[in-house]
């Protein structure tokens, strides 16, 4: 057996460590430990010079193990693994000891004790590094296509970006058309571009792209597998219209006798049971809504069948399951507008002339239910005094949404401008708590709004809204906090600037993919700053409002980032798996399945073998957390680099005891 020769490097990290821990003394102490050939302290171990020194020492002193006492492995473990590998050693014959986050930063008050603790930790590291074994990184081949869940602007942009990189993608959307929430908006801030006008070309491009397979009116039924090899089951809901034959002429909708509230128009207008959600829909194919169609209710009608010039109507089709294999997944499930509750005390659904901003958005849209005229729902008259109420469903602990929805301040400004342009005589007031105009050109927009459009800003959250029984006008009581005065004012129409909540299906998708969520219910990225589109599940990326409320420019930027991140393993053709995983000793395993139950990543599975059922770890799914190791009643699972012997030797070193 080769004699173990260890090199120990103790970092000063400028004064981060050196200001508290006597790094020199720690290095001198390390020199006295068993098998340590060389021990040094350096100012910045992670610098080129520090790394170069390690490489030289490995060659000169024939080191075969390296211990670095510096910061958290979260920061530089990868750096040092590479250094060790460059020096010609197996990168896993290296142990990192954290003397910054766990020593100098937390024990700044007691320098001597901190130095002693650093020595203890280094001794533990040296003890463990002796028992480390060389590990090999495994590579998996990657299926060369991506699944994009959600056909809003985030999903569309991600799919288009993948397409431009030459990567094939499957874009799945649960409604009959792609477009999502952006298609519902009238204008966009701060440029007041027509929303559908800038979105429609992208939708058409998706429809025409040979690299994008579009699955509309489709749910994701199940996802299994791991990075590079996801098995996806899609449920293609029965459209009852033959997609190849339908020419989108609309004859079926013309004759259809059933009228139901349109989801696209937020229930403000009606649609037929045979419908396209909006004129620019992609694909422009009609859908027959099973829940409302007369034929499915009574077995009669079939007027659409007679009207259709291409015989495209097929009432007897059923849902179809389709299997896909993809290498990566982008989740872009988006948001739902918040529905005001009774406990918001703003009289939504109680008073006719209180509406949400999304409903207002459809109302002012030229293709909306009122053809773009601003009217009061109660009597159809043009309102002369309109109030917006900000932070409805946001920044409110009482209803559970503590977060700021990011876009409401700005879309309210845009809505106010639209009102002023449609009806210049209208008085517009905005009840706000704080105005957050943080983006490029936003503050200027806020200024222009007050200057040119004379929008009145009232700082205070309305306390009470009540209705005049005769006129159905609304009275608002609020403290005008900057005046220190309670005011009662009358308005013809009140628009609640509702916040954003995660879309209804987010939880289901998160469950399938093992994604974690932050407290606000949106999907959690792997690192808030440095890994903003990755998730803790390898090969799964997030973008758009599924991650957090955000405006269209940020969504587009994030969608492209997600596409680039997802394309990386696909264009490389393989994915490297860290070998720090759990391994099953087949002889000891009795196939009880406890590991399968406890694993948060679905990594272990039971396989039938010649000698009965045994557990097996799917390495790509394993994150090396060690839950199965501790759960296994027969000690049949071992976590690489965290084996019982290795941990025990560390423990013994901590207690200054000899390892048995």
Partner 1 sequence: MSGETEETFIGGQKTLVVEEKVVLDKEYDPEFVAEIVKYGGRDVKTCHQCGNCTGVCPYSLKTLYKTRNIIKMCQLGLKSLVLQTPWLCATCYRCYEHCPEDINAAEVMIALRHIAVRDGFIPDFIQRVTRNVRQYGQSVAPAREVEILRTQLELGPLSYAKPRYGKTINEVQYIMRAMGYDKLVHVLDEKPKEKAAGAAADQAAEGEVR
List residues binding partner 1 (CB under 8 A).
345, 391, 395-398, 433-434, 459-464, 477-481, 484, 486
Based on CB atoms, which residue is closest to partner 1, 520 or 586? 520
Interaxial angle between packed helices 408-422 and 442-453, expressed in degrees from 0 to 180 and rounded to the nearest 10 = 30
Q: Between vectors from CA 77 to CA 72 and to CA 82, what angle results, nearest 5°?
A: 160
Q: Using CA atoms, how far apart are residues 566 and 147, in angstroms rounded to an integer? A: 10
H/E stretch holding 640:
none
Q: Using CA atoms, how far apart are residues 99 and 11, in angstroms rounded to an integer? A: 9
**Cα atoms found within 13 Å of the Cα of residue 512, Cβ hemisphere only:** 20
Based on CB atoms, which residue is closest to partner 1, 433 or 618? 433
Based on CB atoms, which residue is closest to partner 1, 399 or 651? 399
Based on CB atoms, which residue is closest to partner 1, 124 or 354? 354
H/E stretch holding 456:
strand 456-459
Q: Using CA atoms, how far apart are residues 419 and 492, in angstroms rounded to an integer? A: 13
Based on CB atoms, which residue is closest to partner 1, 55 or 477? 477
**Cα atoms found within 13 Å of the Cα of residue 258, Cβ hemisphere only:** 23
Going edge to edge, which strands form the sheet with 218-226? 218-226, 229-236, 320-326
Of 149, 270, 161, 259, residue with least CA distance to 215:
149
**Cα atoms found within 13 Å of the Cα of residue 494, Cβ hemisphere only:** 31
Least CB distance from residue 478 to partner 1, whole Å? 5
**DSSP string of 523-559?**
BPPSBTTTBSSB-SSTTEEE-GGGTS---HHHHHHHH
- For the chain, the farthest-separated pair of C-alpha atoms sits apart, in whole angstroms, at 97
Q: In the chain, count H helices and then E strands.
A: 18, 34
Least CB distance from residue 391 to partner 1, whole Å? 7
Least CB distance from residue 493 to partner 1, whole Å? 20
Chain position carrying tokens 């100098």: 104
CA distances to 182, 195, 252, 377 from 369, rounded to whole Å, are: 17, 17, 20, 11
CB 582 within 8 A of CB 603: yes
In the three-class reduction of DSSP (H, G, I as helix; E, B as strand; rest coil), residue 79 is classed as helix
Least CB distance from residue 433 to partner 1, whole Å? 4
């Amino acid at each position: 057996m080769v004699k173990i020769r260890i090199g120990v490097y103790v970092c000063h990290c400028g004064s981060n460590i050196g200001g508290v821990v006597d790094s020199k003394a720690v290095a001198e102490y390390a020199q006295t430990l068993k098998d340590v050939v060389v021990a040094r302290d350096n100012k910045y171990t992670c610098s080129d010079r520090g790394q170069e020194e390690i490489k030289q020492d490995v060659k000169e002193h024939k080191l075969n193990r390296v211990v670095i006492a510096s910061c958290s492995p979260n920061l530089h473990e990868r750096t040092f693994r590479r250094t060790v590998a460059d020096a010609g050693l197996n990168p896993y014959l290296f142990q990192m000891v954290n003397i910054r986050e766990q020593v100098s930063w937390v024990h700044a008050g007691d320098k001597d004790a901190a130095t002693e603790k650093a020595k203890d930790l280094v001794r533990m590291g040296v003890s463990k590094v002796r028992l480390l074994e060389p590990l090999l990184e495994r590579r998996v081949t990657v299926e060369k296509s991506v699944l994009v869940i959600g056909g809003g602007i985030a999903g569309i942009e991600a799919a288009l970006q993948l397409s431009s990189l030459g990567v094939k993608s499957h874009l799945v959307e649960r409604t009959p058309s792609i477009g999502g929430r952006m298609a519902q908006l009238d204008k966009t801030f701060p440029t007041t571009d027509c929303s559908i006008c800038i979105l429609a070309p992208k939708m058409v491009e998706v429809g025409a792209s040979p690299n994008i397979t579009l699955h509309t009116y489709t749910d994701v039924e199940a996802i299994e597998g791991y990075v590079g090899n996801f098995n996806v089951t899609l449920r293609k809901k029965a459209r009852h219209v033959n997609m190849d034959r339908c020419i989108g002429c609309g004859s079926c909708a013309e004759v259809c006798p059933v009228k139901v509230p349109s989801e696209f128009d937020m229930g403000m207008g009606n649609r037929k049971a045979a419908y396209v959600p909006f004129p620019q829909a992609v694909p422009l194919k009609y859908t027959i809504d099973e829940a409302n169609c007369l034929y499915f209710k009574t077995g009669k009608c079939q007027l659409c069948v007679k009207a259709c010039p291409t015989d495209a109507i097929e009432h007897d089709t059923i849902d179809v399951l389709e299997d896909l294999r993809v290498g990566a997944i982008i989740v872009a499930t988006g948001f739902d507008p918040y529905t005001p509750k009774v406990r918001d005390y703003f009289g939504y659904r109680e008073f006719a002339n209180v509406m949400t901003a999304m409903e207002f958005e459809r109302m002012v849209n030229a293709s909306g239910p009122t053809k773009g005229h601003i009217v009061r729902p109660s009597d159809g008259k043009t309102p002369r005094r309109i109030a917006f109420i900000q932070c409805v469903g946001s920044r409110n602990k009482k209803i559970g949404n503590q977060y700021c929805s990011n876009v409401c301040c700005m879309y309210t400004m845009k809505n106010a401008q639209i009102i002023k342009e449609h009806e210049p005589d209208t008085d517009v007031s905005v009840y706000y708590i704080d105005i957050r105009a943080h983006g490029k050109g936003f503050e200027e927009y806020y200024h222009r709004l007050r200057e040119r459009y004379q929008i009145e800003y009232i700082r205070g959250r309305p306390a009470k809204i009540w209705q005049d029984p005769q006129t159905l006008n609304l009275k608002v009581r609020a403290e005008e906090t900057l005046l220190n005065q309670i005011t009662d004012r009358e308005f013809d129409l009140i628009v609640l600037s509702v916040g954003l909540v995660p879309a209804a299906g987010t939880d289901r998708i998160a469950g399938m993919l093992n994604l974690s969520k932050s407290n606000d219910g949106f999907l959690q990225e792997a690192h808030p700053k440095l890994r903003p589109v990755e998730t803790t599940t390898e090969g799964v990326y997030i973008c758009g409002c599924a991650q957090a409320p955000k405006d269209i420019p940020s969504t587009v930027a994030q969608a492209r980032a997600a596409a680039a991140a997802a394309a990386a393993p696909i264009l490389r053709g393989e994915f490297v798996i860290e070998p720090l995983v759990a391994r099953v000793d087949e002889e000891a395993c009795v196939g009880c399945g406890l590991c399968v139950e406890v694993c948060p990543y679905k990594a272990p599975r039971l396989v039938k073998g010649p000698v009965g059922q045994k557990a097996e770890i799917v390495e790509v799914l394993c994150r090396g957390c060690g839950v199965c190791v501790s759960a296994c009643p027969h000690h049949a699972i071992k976590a690489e680099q965290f084996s019982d012997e290795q941990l025990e030797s560390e423990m013994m070193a901590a207690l200054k005891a000899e390892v048995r």
